Amino acid sequence: MRDAAFGCDWVGTPNPFQRSLMFIIATANKEFQLTAGKFVPVSNVTTLNVCIYVIMQASETIFHYS
């Protein structure tokens, strides 16, 4: 994200746009961790498992009514 913001054609753009890009670049440098309920860390594996579960539930519902 940071590299994409810096790599865009920002030279000669209005100052508010340049300030927005600086904000994006600064915040993209910070690490973050997804949490559940603001206290339980959620890993990539957990997120993937939840997505798979939701897709499976949705497909069962679709095929049940077909």
- Residue 66, pLDDT > 60, answer no
Domain that holds residue 6: 1-32
What's at 45, amino acid-wise? V
13-36: average pLDDT? 84
Shared domain check, 42 and 14: no
Task: Identify the pLDDT of residue 46.
Answer: 84
Q: How far apart are CA 48 and CA 42, in angstroms?
A: 10
Residue scoring higher pLDDT (2 or 56): 56
Residues 37 and 66 in one domain: yes
Please state the domain count of the chain.
Answer: 2
pLDDT class of 64 with cuts at 50, 70, 90: low
| Closest by CA position to 7, among listed 24, 16, 15 | 24
Higher pLDDT, 48 or 65: 48
Pair (21, 43) in one structural domain: no
The C-alpha R_g of the chain, in whole angstroms, comes to 20
If you average pLDDT over every residue of the chain, what do you get?
82
